Amino acid sequence: MPSEHAHERGHAPRPLLFISDLHLSPAIPRTVAAFEHFVLITADSADSVFVLGDLFEYWIGDDMLRVDPFAARIAEVLHTLSERGIALYIMHGNRDFLLGKRFMRAAGAIFLPDPFVVTAFGARIVLAHGDALCTSDHKYQTFRRIVRWRPVQLLFLAWPLKWRRALAERMRVSSEAGRTRPPSPAYDVTDEGVAALFKRSRTTAMIHGHTHKPARHLEKDGTRWVLPDWDLDHGTRRGGYLRVDAEGIHALPLD
């Protein structure tokens, strides 16, 4: 059963904003600048910001905060949200599932389990990163279960940082090479995975990312919103967010 939270704060509720799949790294400065603008300007009138996974291109342990100026800078930017009274919730993605308590403290964030049910403006919405819904990709689902197992994570985190970074870079290069191949249906969410999450969560609205295929889908059991990935550094500009307010759920472009 997904975790749940009723999200109504104060007498005049402000909107909730949802983003995912920014894949931030120093290699994409325009995307990083758009992220900073979103946090400092776009989100200023929000009640809460929800990051539904893959904030970073990869995260190999919270000790990155100590040795990586870019990681520390992103945490500092995010912390300005809590300083302004805006709640920040962060969910693990398939690239940054090692974000830990030290990062959450540095960013002023609250960790969000996957999946998670939020009640806002009278609506119950189930949130997920989306990778667990790709149930036809059996190889990935096995990999996901292994790397989310805490003993395996502790073993990996015991490696020297340079070893972890080298492995993450090799996996990133392999992933980039895979993007040039025609997309396979096995890498998308399945009807069965979506229906099962709707049933478990007892909701009729879903928000997730991961697939990089932003859309509003009218499913048999409810409405499924897919968040866009962000990339303002290569080819056609991509990015955007969802806003949930008293009028419903809206897909909006970046400012």
pLDDT of the residue at 255: 87
pLDDT of the residue at 7: 65
pLDDT of the residue at 13: 86
Residue 29's CB is within 10 A of a number of other CB atoms, namely 11
Question: What are phi and psi for residue 138, nearest 5 degrees?
Answer: -65, -35
Tens digit of pLDDT at every position of the chain (255 positions): 466 666 655 556 899 999 999 999 999 999 999 999 999 999 999 999 999 999 999 999 999 999 999 999 999 999 999 999 999 999 999 999 999 999 999 999 999 999 999 999 999 999 999 999 999 999 999 999 999 999 999 999 999 999 999 998 888 787 665 554 555 666 799 999 999 999 999 999 999 999 999 999 999 999 999 999 999 999 899 999 999 999 999 999 998
CATH topology of domain 3-252: Purple Acid Phosphatase; chain A, domain 2 (3.60.21)
- Answer yes or no: are the C-beta atoms of 205 and 126 closer than 8 Å: yes
Question: What are phi and psi for residue 200, nearest 5 degrees?
Answer: -65, -40
d(CA 57, CA 95): 6
- Answer yes or no: are the C-beta atoms of 118 and 5 closer than 8 Å: yes
pLDDT of the residue at 6: 63
pLDDT of the residue at 11: 53
pLDDT of the residue at 197: 98
Report the 3 state secondary structure along 204-226. CEEEECCCCCCEEEECCCCEEEE
pLDDT of the residue at 5: 66
* The residue to which tokens 């866009």 are assigned: 228
Helix (H, G, I), strand (E, B) or coil at 120: strand
Kindly list the domain boundaries of the chain, sorted by start residue. Answer: 3-252
What pTM does this model have? 0.93
- Answer yes or no: are the C-beta atoms of 39 and 78 closer than 8 Å: yes
